[in-house]
Amino acid sequence: MSDLHIGPASSDDLAAVLDFWETAAEGTSISDDLAGIGRLHARDPQALLLARRDGELVGTVIAGFDGWRCHLYRLAVHPEHRRRGIGSALLAAAEERFTELGGRRADAMVLDRNEQAHGAWGAAGYHPEDHWTRWVKPLNG
C-alpha cells in the first residue's frame, strides 16, 4: 500500500468522516453526529484513524482505549476501495496503537446481520464471544 496513508483525524476531518460513514458504514449509532464525534476527538485525538489514498478518505476505524480495554468501532472502507487491504491496514494500525498503550486484547462491535464484515473480522483473527450479550441504555442528557 505505498500510496495508502493512515493517521489520526484532525478536527477539520470530522464532518467529512460523518459523510463518509453514510456511504461506507453499516448502520448508525446514537453518537454518530458532530457533537458525538467531536467529544471523541477532544477526549482522545489519536483514537479516530483515517486511511487516505491519494488524499481521498477511503477508510476509518476508531481505536478507543479507556486505560483498561481496547475497543474497535467504525471499521469502514469505501465500497469502491474494498478488498485491497485497507481494512487490514487500519486494523494493524489500531492494534499497534493498542500495544503501545499497553492494551492486551482488542474487541470489536460488529453487527450480527453484517455477514460481509464477519468474514473480514475472522480473517483478521477476531472471533465472536457467544457467551456475552451487550446490554445498552440510551442516556438522555
Contact 25, 15 (CB under 8 A): no
Cβ atoms of 70 and 98 within 8 Å: the answer is: yes
Residue whose C-alpha is closest to residue 62's, from 119, 71, 125, 21? 71
pLDDT in tens, the chain (141 residues): 459 999 999 999 999 999 999 999 876 777 889 999 999 999 999 999 999 999 999 999 999 999 999 999 999 999 999 999 999 999 999 999 999 999 999 999 888 888 888 988 889 999 988 888 888 877 875
pLDDT at position 1, please? 45
Here the cell at position 78 is 469505501
User: The cell 474494498 sits on which residue?
Assistant: 82
Backbone torsions φ then ψ of 118, nearest 5 degrees: -60, -45
What does the alpha-carbon distance between residue 38 and residue 65 come to, in Å, rounded to a whole number?
17
- Amino acid identity at 26: E
DSSP result, 28-73: --TT-SHHHHHHHHHH-TTSEEEEEETTEEEEEEEEEE-SS-EEEE
**pTM over 0.85, yes/no:** yes
Rounded distance between C-alpha atoms, residue 109 and residue 98, angstroms: 16
Q: Which domains does the chain have, with CATH numbers?
A: 4-123 (3.40.630.30)
Distance CA 95, CA 112 (A): 23
